[in-house]
Amino acid sequence: NAGVTQTPKFRVLKTGQSMTLLCAQDMNHEYMYWYRQDPGMGLRLIHYSVGEGTTAKGEVPDGYNVSRLKKQNFLLGLESAAPSQTSVYFCASSSAGTTYTEAFFGQGTRLTVV
Amino acid sequence: AQTVTQSQPEMSVQEAETVTLSCTYDTSESNYYLFWYKQPPSRQMILVIRQEAYKQQNATENRFSVNFQKAAKSFSLKISDSQLGDTAMYSCAFINNAGGTSYGKLTFGQGTILTVHP
């Protein structure tokens, strides 16, 4: 069972470069999320999606864009990377419904912007 | 808005001893879930334990147990018989389960780095 897979695992970018992080889940989950994790701040929600073709802003959306063209994939884009975007990025997914079950996380992407 | 606070950035414990990690939260909701996640050096987020707010009984999973004080909005994690493999960052998390409006969005605390010494 693959679960949630993030690509790539590590990346170094120069300031101003762009890149896309890919998240894929094979659990047929409706909901998907992108979080960033910084020292001393815990995980913070960047963007999320409640279904194919939908996206919404989280707590820290500035500088990022997302797309969910297929139910199983959730892409996070950085159009012009900045050093403040150096972080570890986590993708997660969960099922929809009135009773919460559990979120499943990818293994994270360590991004360094120099 | 919900907030989750972990006031212990780092903690250490000797192998086989017991350690308690603190977490407080703030919410105006009555129906919610609380979680503790473990994150070893591999970065993988591992769900350790969960507590539904409507349940009075504290959740237990093997060596891990919680002390859930709803009135005080406190949710501490106790690790008994600590093992070297327990060395990790532990994050407390909250989700409002009021119908479908939460969309599964988790609110995390800052994390506590736990080191177990031999």
pLDDT in tens, B29-60: 888 999 999 999 999 999 999 999 989 899 99
Residues of chain A contacting B42 with CB distance shorter than 8 Å: 107
Q: B111 burial class (0-12, 13-18, 19+ CB within 10 angstroms)?
A: buried
The rounded Cα B76 to chain-centroid distance in angstroms is: 6
Collapsed DSSP state (helix, strand, coil) of residue A85: helix
Averaged pLDDT, A55-83: 97
Backbone angles phi, psi at A85, to 5 degrees: -90, 5
Question: Taking 90 as the threshold, does the pLDDT of residue A3 lie above it?
Answer: yes
Nearest by CB to B111, from A42, A92, A107: name it: A42
B110: left (phi over 0), alpha (psi -120 to 50) or beta: alpha
Q: How far is A112 from chain B (nearest CA, A)?
A: 16
Per the CB < 8 Å rule, is A100 touching B9?
no
Q: Which contacts of B50-55 are long-range, i.e. CB under 8 A and separated by 24 or more positions?
A: B50/A102, B51/B75, B52/B97
B86: which DSSP letter?
A: G
Mutate to test the interface with B, among A4, A29, A32, A100 (most CBs of B within 10 A): A100
Residue B99 pLDDT more than 70? no
User: From the candidates B2, B43, B97, which should be mutated to test the interface with A, based on the most A CB atoms within 10 A?
Assistant: B43
Which pLDDT score is estimated for A2?
75
Strand partners, B70: none
Q: Token digits for B87?
A: 């060395």
The DSSP 8-state label assigned to residue A86 in this structure reads: -
Please name the member of B42, B103, B109 whose beta carbon is closest to the beta carbon of A42. Answer: B109
pLDDT at A33: 97
